[in-house]
């Protein structure tokens, strides 16, 4: 082959190589375009950035002395029987809680959900997972079968008098527990599809990120100067939530889980404990006293103000705000977790 003939094929090969540089004509062993994979990754990253920015803007737009204390937030937890490879979770139980810092726990919503007929090949997984966690039998007949009713109840619970539905917050996916953001998304999507509604109306965001923003907002003054110890990372906040110091407090769960002594896995108990946890860490920085059953369990020993008076000779209400916040950083937590009274 002459040099001119080789040149023709070299140019053709070079052109083909250039066309493949963007990945449109490159595929995985499963036949999926690398370009499609890259596009999906970019979309997920962009969606995650928008989500984090939304949480940040929501909290930072609130006034530390007024609207931060009264703004309502919503938490959600889902127990499930099994999951599939396409991120479908068969819902067993769903619970939501509404709270603000001033009033603590405002109200809750709770449903057991009938999963319908579970495919034969997934019944063992459903039974095994239930026995390890929530204990709800997959063939139980007490779950709500009307998915439209559940959808309407959740929509009205979240929407209230507002013209839009606020986001719900839950824990990120975890391999070692029944905390799962994907399960909440799947459950809400299933309910929307049953009601012939668009699932995009429900936004599900990570609770640790919200906790992080609220906690640090509480620890700064209006001029953005810190008056308390700021939490450096979301990972620290997530670790505090996972400690679950109220996990064995009484009368937080539904009657079924209370009777079975499985309150620690009850969705209703979990969303209630999350409210108590964030109140425990944040209220002291904005001068809010704890109310039993609202900011902490009814059997908690709330003795922070008493300890504060003993150490300073002043009540928390009369102490200047800046000094009070600084002092609080070096004091015991609001709740003495070691003195939960036995009932």
Q: Could you read off the pLDDT of 227-244 as tens digits, one per residue?
A: 568 899 999 999 999 999
CA distance 343 to 130: 28
CB 274 within 8 A of CB 97: yes
* pLDDT score for 307: 44
Asked if residue 15 is part of any domain, the answer here is no
Q: Which of 96, 94, 92, 74 is nearest to 83 (CA)?
A: 92
Q: How many CA within 13 A on the CB side of residue 175?
A: 0
* pLDDT score for 312: 42
Q: Which residue has the higher pLDDT, 306 or 66?
A: 66
pLDDT over 70 at 112, yes or no: yes
* pLDDT score for 306: 37
Asked if residue 38 is part of any domain, the answer here is no
Asked if residue 270 is part of any domain, the answer here is yes
Asked if residue 36 is part of any domain, the answer here is no
- What is the total count of domains within the chain? 1
Q: Which residue has the higher pLDDT, 310 or 258?
A: 258
* pLDDT score for 330: 32
Domain containing 61: what range? 46-339
Split at pLDDT 50, 70, 90, the class of 294 is very high
Asked if residue 9 is part of any domain, the answer here is no
Min mean pLDDT across 17-31, 250-264, 299-313 is at 299-313
Q: How many CA within 13 A on the CB side of residue 24?
A: 5
Q: How many CA within 13 A on the CB side of residue 289?
A: 13
CATH of the domain at 293: 3.30.420.10
CA distance 93 to 262: 13
Q: Which residue has the higher pLDDT, 199 or 179?
A: 199
Asked if residue 41 is part of any domain, the answer here is no
pLDDT tens-digit map of 75-94: 999 999 999 988 899 999 99
Read off the DSSP letter of residue 81: E
Asked if residue 275 is part of any domain, the answer here is yes
pLDDT (average), residues 129-143: 93
């Amino acid at each position: 082959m002459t040099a001119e003939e080789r040149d023709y094929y070299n140019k053709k090969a070079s052109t083909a190589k250039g066309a493949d540089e963007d990945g449109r004509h490159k595929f995985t062993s499963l036949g999926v375009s690398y370009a499609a994979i890259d596009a999906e990754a970019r979309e997920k990253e962009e969606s995650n950035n928008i989500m984090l920015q939304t949480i940040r803007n929501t909290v930072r737009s609130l006034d530390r002395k007024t609207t931060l204390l009264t703004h309502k937030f919503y938490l959600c937890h889902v127990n499930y029987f099994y999951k599939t490879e396409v991120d479908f979770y068969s819902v067993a139980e769903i619970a939501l809680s509404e709270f603000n810092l001033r009033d603590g726990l405002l109200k809750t919503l709770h449903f057991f959900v009938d999963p319908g007929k579970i495919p034969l090949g997934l019944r063992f997984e459903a039974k095994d997972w239930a026995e390890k966690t929530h204990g709800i039998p997959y063939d139980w007949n007490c779950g709500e079968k009307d998915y439209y009713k559940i959808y309407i109840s959740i929509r009205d619970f979240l929407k209230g008098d507002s013209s839009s539905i606020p986001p719900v917050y839950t824990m990120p996916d975890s391999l070692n527990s029944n905390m799962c953001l994907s399960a909440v998304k799947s459950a809400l999507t299933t309910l929307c599809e049953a009601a012939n509604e668009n699932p995009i109306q429900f936004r599900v965001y990570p609770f640790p990120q919200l906790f992080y923003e609220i906690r640090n907002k509480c620890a700064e003054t209006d001029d953005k100067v810190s008056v308390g110890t700021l939490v450096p990372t979301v990972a620290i906040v997530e670790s505090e939530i996972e400690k679950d110091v109220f996990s064995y407090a009484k009368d937080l769960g539904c009657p079924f889980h209370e009777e079975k002594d499985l309150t620690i896995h009850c969705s209703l108990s979990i969303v209630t404990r999350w409210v108590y946890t964030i109140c425990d860490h944040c209220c002291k920085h904005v001068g809010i006293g704890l109310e039993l059953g609202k900011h902490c369990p009814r059997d908690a020993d709330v003795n922070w103000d008493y300890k504060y008076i003993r150490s300073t000779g002043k009540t928390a209400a009369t102490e200047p705000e800046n000094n009070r916040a600084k002092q609080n950083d070096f004091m015991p937590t609001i709740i003495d977790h070691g003195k939960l009274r036995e009932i």
